[in-house]
Amino acid sequence: MSYERVLYTEPGSTWWPLLWGPAFAAVGAGLEALTGPVHTVPWLVVGIVLFGVASLWVNARRKVYRVELTPSRLTQGRETIDTESITKVTDVGAAPGARILGGGWTAPRKTIEVPVRLGDGTVALAWARDGEALKDALTRLVEKEAEEEAEEE
């Protein structure tokens, strides 16, 4: 299995929210200790249940909101496209109703849309929290491919 160099990445979520549930249970047990006996088993159950719910939430966010750009592919959430299908990044206007990459109806909240022109002439909207960084990485990649094709001719 060969690994490609990653040009841009956003994981979708970090793993630290998994600590919210156990921290809440520890604070609850600590406050209970100030007023009398601690009910250890219920607090352990609360911590474990909240940890489980948070792990489902984090795992879903890491799948749905992930952005990764390599020289051969762009992954946006659950969708992956070949970077060869991207023909232009700069000066691309986003038409109303343009397809959102990643399979959603709209770009995720707190993300910036990056319009890209695809090989079939359609415009699609890529997205990232740091839209400028994604646009810069895509521009460098697409311009590099265009220069290589021009040199071959």
pLDDT per residue as tens digits for the range 70-128: 999 999 999 999 999 999 888 888 778 888 998 888 888 899 999 999 988 889 999 99
* CA-CA-CA-CA torsion sign (95, 98, 100, 106): positive
Predicted structure pTM score = 0.79
**CA dist 86 → 90, 107, 124, 139 (Å):** 11, 18, 9, 10
Domain segments of the chain: what residues?
A: 12-64, 68-152
